[in-house]
Amino acid sequence: MEPLSRMTAATIDVLSVLDASREPCWGLLVIKSSGRPAGSVYPILERLETSGWVTSSWEEDDSRPGPRRRYYELTEDGATAARAAIRSFAAKSTAAPKVAHA
Amino acid sequence: MSMATVAVRFAAWTLPRKMRNRYREQWLADLRDAEEAGIPPADIVFGSLAFAATLNRPLFSDSRALDAEAVTRRSRVAAGLALSAALVALTQYANIFVGFDNVASMYAREPGTEILAGWLGAYSWIAPVAAGLIVMVTRGTRTGVSIAVIALVFASFVGEIQPAIDRASQHRTTMWHAEPWIYPTALGLVAAASVFLWFALGRPRQRTDSVHGNRRLLASSIGGMVVLAAALLVIAHTQTIWETRLPLPFGPSVSENLSMWLQWMELKLDFEQLMVGTFSVLLVAGAVLACLVIAVGLPRRGTVSGVTAAAVFALCFLTLGYAALLSFLEAIWGVDFASRPIVVLFLVGRIGLVAVILYAVGGLRLPRSLPRMRRRPDMRSDAELIGG
């Protein structure tokens, strides 16, 4: 697993959705739950998959004809790193207003 | 098929080969089920296009591992295009100005000048053909390409030497003064092709990191396209001249001289016309054979041999017997239609040369021959089966 070169708010939102899901999550649901546009989420998921934070697989439901859905889930190391990144980002977000008021 | 589906398919098509099928299926599934997820289909469309546009590709970023095989193949295609374009451009002007049968040598005052002009003409078409064969035999290796480039660079100077010979023999070549851009352009084309070829394949082993690989691919691709585009422009220029049958401006037109000669002489089947006719039959037979080889699907070696033979024969024949061929055709079909077979020969020769070179550098793949089915000893023959 490789560390991400940059950690944006959109990336944190995607990681939060994947971390909160107990099972593999459909890509469209990640888009819906994160509140981010597909143009942001698709590249983020691809980066996460390339870096080894996330794995993806095709759905196993043969009852739905046509193209298959793609499901994403955090790897074991990715889950640990994702939680650390979310905590770190949250800490920075809460720390900033304090600095401003100081 | 909706516009959204078309857009998503287009976005997937722009992706690298290894990603194409996966994302096409994924995005089509998302598009189909967007309503179920409560997402506008337009968001999926824009998302797929944004993904394709912002994807880290080897050409623009070194964040992704480089597909060495793809880069090598694309570099070879670009190098093949550059080399073939340079050869086509060079043979064009070699045909007109420097051949054993060229008009300038006819007016040479000194015997030594005429012999030199002839040998230069021979080298001008031997060198490009040899360069192509060298690349083909060596399969595009660095050494082979370097040798081919050196031969091509020297051959390019022939176009500059020939006018100097003409001036030395007190014959002014009107084409040179009327269109002086021809020789510098031809020289520039070959020089540009040489630079890009050397940069792409001829240099000593470079670092194989993605940045240098990307620059080499970019330089060779751009160089190949520029040289090929210029060569196509030059070819169009030549074909325009021959199709309109404009007289060559360096003196009385070739067709006018030949017409006067034919009127003065009695038309008969002399040795020259017999040779031209024989060559024409051989050329047509070779071209037909090459087409049959390709259509039937014989082994690649046979296909390449046929195409090579047709291309080289066409170019050599045109270079050596251009005026004789023209006189023969004019005698049979008249002045108006005599140039058309020559145009066809030019196209056959040059396109064939391009195809051969592209195959030689590994950019053009031909189908393998079908494997022969071996009969096992215990298998019955068709006759046995039919006879029961």
One-character DSSP codes across B3-18: HHHHHHHHHHHTS-HH
Does the pLDDT at position B247 exceed 50?
Answer: no
Confidence category of residue A93, pLDDT binned at 50, 70, 90? confident
CB distance from B209 to chain A under 8 Å? no
Q: Is B132 helix (H, G, I), strand (E, B) or coil?
A: helix
The pTM for the full model equals 0.39
Question: How far is A47 from chain B, CA to nearest CA, in Å?
Answer: 9
Confidence category of residue A12, pLDDT binned at 50, 70, 90? very high
Are A11 and A49 a contacting pair, CB within 8 Å?
no
ipTM over 0.95: no
Q: Which of A87-96, B152-161, B370-379 reaches the highest mean pLDDT?
A: A87-96
The reported pLDDT for the residue numbered B186 is 56
Are B143 and B86 a contacting pair, CB within 8 Å?
no
The reported pLDDT for the residue numbered B145 is 63
Tell me how far apart the alpha carbons of residues A83 and B82 are, in angstroms, rounded to a whole number: 53
Give phi and psi for A71, each to the nearest 5.
-115, 145
Which of A27, A32, A66 is opposite residue B26, by nearest beta carbon? A27
Does the pLDDT at position B302 exceed 60?
Answer: no
Question: Does the beta-carbon distance from A39 to B46 stay under 8 Å?
Answer: yes
Question: How far is A28 from chain B, CA to nearest CA, in Å?
Answer: 6
CB distance from B327 to chain A under 8 Å? no
Question: Does the beta-carbon distance from A46 to B64 stay under 8 Å?
Answer: no
Question: How far is B377 from chain A, CA to nearest CA, in Å?
Answer: 46
Question: Does the beta-carbon distance from A46 to B48 stay under 8 Å?
Answer: no
Tokens of B140: 């595009």
Question: Does the beta-carbon distance from A37 to B47 stay under 8 Å?
Answer: yes
* Residue, of B151 and A4, whose pLDDT is higher: A4
Does the pLDDT at position B8 exceed 50?
Answer: yes
What percentage of chain B has pLDDT greater than the value 90? Answer: 6
Angle between helices B111-137 and B142-156 (to 10 degrees): 160
Are B12 and B27 a contacting pair, CB within 8 Å?
yes
- The two counts, helices (H) then strands (E), for chain A are 4, 3
Q: Which of A31-35, B102-106, B275-279, B297-301 reaches the highest mean pLDDT?
A: A31-35
Question: Does the beta-carbon distance from B30 to A68 stay under 8 Å?
Answer: no
- Residue A56's H or E segment, with its range, is strand A54-58
What is the average per-residue pLDDT within A45-69? 88
Question: Does the beta-carbon distance from A38 to B48 stay under 8 Å?
Answer: yes
Residues of B in contact with A32 (CB under 8 A): 37-39
Q: Is A7 helix (H, G, I), strand (E, B) or coil?
A: coil
CB distance from B118 to chain A under 8 Å? no
The three-state DSSP-derived secondary structure of B182-235 is: HHHHHHHHHHHHHHHHHHHHHCCCCCCCHHHHHHHHHHHHHHHHHHHHHHHHHH
Question: What's the gap between Cα B54 and its chain centre?
Answer: 35
Torsion of CA B132, B137, B139, B140, to 10 degrees: -40
Residues of A in contact with B49 (CB under 8 A): 39
CB distance from B42 to chain A under 8 Å? no
Question: Does the beta-carbon distance from A43 to B51 stay under 8 Å?
Answer: yes
Q: Is A94 helix (H, G, I), strand (E, B) or coil?
A: helix
B223-242 per-position pLDDT tens digit = 555 555 555 555 555 444 44
What is the average per-residue pLDDT within A38-60? 91
